[in-house]
Structure 1
Amino acid sequence: MEETREEQADGAVARVAAIDIAKASGVVCMRLPHEDREGRRVQQVWTVASTTNAVLELGDRLLCQGVQRVVMEATGNYWKPFFYLLEARGLECWLVNAREVKNVPGRPKTDKLDAVWLAKLAERGMVRASFVPPKPVRQLRDLTRTRTAFTQDRTRHKHRVEKALEDAQIKLSSVVSDLFGVSGRAMLDALVAGERNPRALAELARGSLVNKRELLVEALTGQFEEHHSRLLRILLETVDHFTRQISELDRHITMLLNELAGPAAAAEHDDAPTTAVGRPGPELVERLDAVPGVGATTAHIILAEIGLDMNRFPSPEHLVSWAKLCPRTIQSGTKNTTGPAGRGNPWLKGALGEAANAAARTDSFLGSRYRRIVKRRGHAKALVAVARSILVIAWHLINDPDARYQDLGADWHQRHLNSARRTRDLVRQLQALGHQVTLAPTA
């Protein structure tokens, strides 16, 4: 052990370890109080392989030393073996944002110095833990993220199908709104099977496309060769493969959500305080599904990304700030400005963005909110505002077992708008159109 002279700050963690993690190893810095000299600290730095046995041995060693907290930076996926294995050993693990624990510029940078610096910050309480959900929610998150990735891959292959048709002068997408609907897919399969007669292909139309057969004949007249047939068959098989995998993931997600219902029942029998921990997943999905723009898939992603325990986020504002759906406040002297919100969780923000885009087209409170904001702030900021509202609603639905979504109505803003303010806004709109407005009270 090497003795150091730093004094322990008030509220510091007495026994702490920090790990600077790389792909194949991690540098560990353990800092403890001196056994004989009060106010003194001792530290030890060593390298540990990132294999399972080595990490488990590290956990036993830290437990023997009475380490209270283990801190590590979020470095790709390399932190996960250390975090999960040490957490399973019973240690309190903190994952911190690497951007927030940078060393002082100009100082030498090595793995050892980074580990020592991180340990010093941790023992003084100068780090903030990132949100790492419990294991069942992490498993749900893996499934929903894989489903999102597969859905995106399937969409890309559908675009490749359309590109292959365009290369063969088949303009089917100009007439058919969905190439992979009943009629479109039947025509694609017939093309792969060897059918080249445009009229025979057009006879496969169903529903409203029956009235567009002449347009279909024109669109299906092209230069479709055997090369295009082979390519189209491979692409369609790939699309079908992704569809089957997505269905399998949906089944596993539903099963896992049903399993998450277990702890809630146990908590009720133990007279535990009402929290969102372990609340039946299917019920939460059903309640989130009632929000305009939010479907079952979006509800799955929301639950997987923020978890079922809102104790981690004391208020909706905390959750919105964590998701980076509110502007950053910048204050200097008497000047207050706002800055970019930041990147946030891309999986959550992507799902909320799609939900907000869908809600914007509905005749609901959220749709009215979008149309009200888009006039003066633009499309992007209006979508962020609606996404923020959806996340706040989700927080209340997850946090309160009795909460149910009730739409306020598309006319809510009109009913609660000050009449003088509404008059002023209408006058401005007329003036912007070139009219001269004179107001006179009615008799």
Structure 2
Amino acid sequence: MLHVVTAVIEHPDGTIAQQSREFGGFKRDYHALTNWLLDLHVELVVMESTDIYCKSIYAHLERAGIQAWVVNAHFVKHVPGRKRDMNDSQWLAVLARFGLVRASFIPPQDLRELRLVFRYRRKLSAMRASEINRLHKILDDGGIKLRGVVSDINGLSARAMATGLIEGKSIPALLDMARGWLKVRREDLQAALDGDPSARHRFILEHIHWHIEILERSLAQIDAYILAAMAPYQWAHRLLQTIPGIDQIVSALILIEIGDDMTRFGNADRIAAWAALCPANNESVGKRKSGRIGKGGSVIRYIMCECANSAWKTKSSLASKYKSLMVRKTHKKGHHRLGSQDDTADLPPLDTQNCVSRLAD
């Protein structure tokens, strides 16, 4: 790992001097870098966003009390310049001096660390979904067609039946495990459970079932940890839960991604653009071209899409708007359009475009 740093220093007589140095990627190198910048009385440090590689050096600069900006490399490349490590550092210093770049949103340290917890939670959730899909496949391979009868293979009835299959119980015993509306579908259940699972099928099912239980316990522990960490943000945490489709965990995840200070974004339009939840502006000669959304903040977009999927199932004005949009839109376009300004103009203040910006109210 190599960090090339250029310091642009303006002297009282108006002359400009540049100093460039190279630093490694270890802790001792970061200390040397911050000490060098402090000796030069540097007021602002600008660095290109390089995913995980810029996080450690940003944290060291923050602890040293040096103001640091992380800028989007996409916007830096829009300003013509030369491409080489040393030239890149000099060019960034010049752009920062003339105000031609702007800082990206970097959450405070507490939320940055909570992001690590959330990312791990998301990975465990994906692993759990993958294991449930594998359970589907193994059951089908053994001739057990449960998913054609039950709505959720991971529900109470289906899990009890899967456990019974692993233990080798008879079909009548499995039918007695049905709960709720499944009790009236005994004939369909009997046909679905009449398969030929072998000992090896049961062996794999046992391990999948065991792994799903471990993942669910881990997710429960992580959720409890995240909710406990929301103590400093209780007012915003409760406020977000007043929006249809947002529960305790989701409101915590939103706060982890964007924080509770909406002044950093300026207004609702900017945060919607940052999250890539609004159509792009692409108009020429009075004609609207493709308004495909950009990449933006992929994680917050993922969270808000999940919220939209939940909101249209509630009894709220958002659900009513979704149903009216579904007359001429597909499902994905319908719940995405819930957040567009034109289609929510007739809704009360509790609309999805402003769901996050309500923190500033």
Shift of 1:96: 0.6
Q: SS where residue 42 of structure 1 aligns? A: strand
Contact 2:131 2:208 in 1 (8 A): yes
1:135 aligns with 2:109: yes
Aligned to 2:224: 251
Contact 2:227 2:248 in 1 (8 A): no
1:94 aligns with 2:80: no
Shift of 1:377: 4.8
Deviations for 1:338-393, whole angstroms, at most 9, x for unmatched residues?
Answer: 63331111111111111112222333211122233343454433322224542413
Which of 352, 357, 361 does residue 390 from structure 1 map onto?
352
Worse-matched range after superposition: 136-145 or 121-130: 136-145
Aligned to 1:369: 321
Q: 1:120 to 1:103 in 2, by over 3 A?
A: farther
Contact 2:82 2:88 in 1 (8 A): no
Shift of 1:226: 0.9
Q: SS where residue 177 of structure 1 aligns? A: coil
Please list, as runs of the form range in 1=range in 2, the aligned pairs for 1:171-190 lying within 5 A after superposition: 171-190=145-164
1:198 aligns with 2:171: yes
Shift of 1:103: 6.8
CA-based RMSD of the aligned residues comes to 2.1
Q: What is the rounded CA distance, in whole Å, between the counterparts of 1:201 and 1:337 in structure 2?
A: 57
Shift of 1:250: 0.8
Deviations for 1:262-287, whole angstroms, at most 9, x for unmatched residues?
Answer: xxxxxxxxxxxxxxxxxx42x43333
What letter matches 2:269 in structure 1?
A: E
Q: What is the rounded CA distance, in whole Å, between the counterparts of 2:14 and 2:50 in structure 1?
A: 33
Q: 1:41 to 1:171 in 2, by over 3 A?
A: same
Worse-matched range after superposition: 227-236 or 161-170: 227-236
What letter matches 1:207 in structure 2?
A: G
Q: 1:129 to 1:165 in 2, by over 3 A?
A: same
Please list, as runs of the form range in 1=range in 2, the aligned pairs for 1:44-123 lying within 5 A after superposition: 44-102=19-77, 109-123=83-97
Shift of 1:237: 1.4
What letter matches 2:262 in structure 1?
A: M
Q: 1:57 to 1:366 in 2, by over 3 A?
A: same
Q: SS where residue 43 of structure 1 aligns? A: strand
1:29 aligns with 2:6: yes
Q: What is the rounded CA distance, in whole Å, between the counterparts of 2:17 and 2:179 in structure 1?
A: 78
Aligned to 2:240: 288
1:399 aligns with 2:351: no
Worse-matched range after superposition: 360-369 or 73-82: 360-369
Contact 1:179 1:185 in 2 (8 A): yes
Contact 2:230 2:237 in 1 (8 A): no
Identity of aligned pairs, percent? 34
Deviations for 1:200-222, whole angstroms, at most 9, x for unmatched residues?
Answer: 22222223222222322221111
Shift of 1:118: 1.3
Q: 1:186 to 1:338 in 2, by over 3 A?
A: closer
Q: 1:155 to 1:49 in 2, by over 3 A?
A: same
Q: 1:150 to 1:352 in 2, by over 3 A?
A: same
Which of 154, 161, 180 does residue 207 from structure 1 map onto?
180
What letter matches 2:91 in structure 1?
A: W
1:151 aligns with 2:125: yes
Shift of 1:394: 2.6
Aligned to 1:39: 14
Deviations for 1:120-159, whole angstroms, at most 9, x for unmatched residues?
Answer: 1111111111000101122222222322222122111101
Deviations for 1:400-437, whole angstroms, at most 9, x for unmatched residues?
Answer: 3xxxxxxxxxxxxxxxxxxxxxxxxxxxxxxxxxxxxx
Contact 1:50 1:81 in 2 (8 A): no
Deviations for 1:215-271, whole angstroms, at most 9, x for unmatched residues?
Answer: 22221111101111111111111111110111111111111111x2xxxxxxxxxxx
Question: Any gaps of 5 or more consecutive residues in structure 1?
Answer: 1-23, 261-279, 401-443
What letter matches 2:157 in structure 1?
A: S
Question: Any gaps of 5 or more consecutive residues in structure 2?
Answer: 341-350
Aligned to 2:347: none
Deviations for 1:70-111, whole angstroms, at most 9, x for unmatched residues?
Answer: 111111210001111111110001001010111767x75321
From the CA coordinates, give the structure whose radius of gyration is larger.
Answer: 1
Q: SS where residue 237 of structure 1 aligns? A: helix
Please list, as runs of the form range in 1=range in 2, the aligned pairs for 1:286-365 lying within 5 A after superposition: 286-330=238-282, 339-365=291-317
TM-score of the superposition, structure 1-length normalised? 0.74
Q: 1:64 to 1:232 in 2, by over 3 A?
A: same
Q: 1:332 to 1:210 in 2, by over 3 A?
A: closer
Q: 1:213 to 1:377 in 2, by over 3 A?
A: closer
Contact 2:47 2:71 in 1 (8 A): yes
Q: SS where residue 339 of structure 1 aligns? A: coil
Worse-matched range after superposition: 174-183 or 323-332: 323-332
Q: 1:298 to 1:27 in 2, by over 3 A?
A: same
Worse-matched range after superposition: 75-84 or 309-318: 309-318
Worse-matched range after superposition: 183-192 or 331-340: 331-340
Aligned to 1:410: none
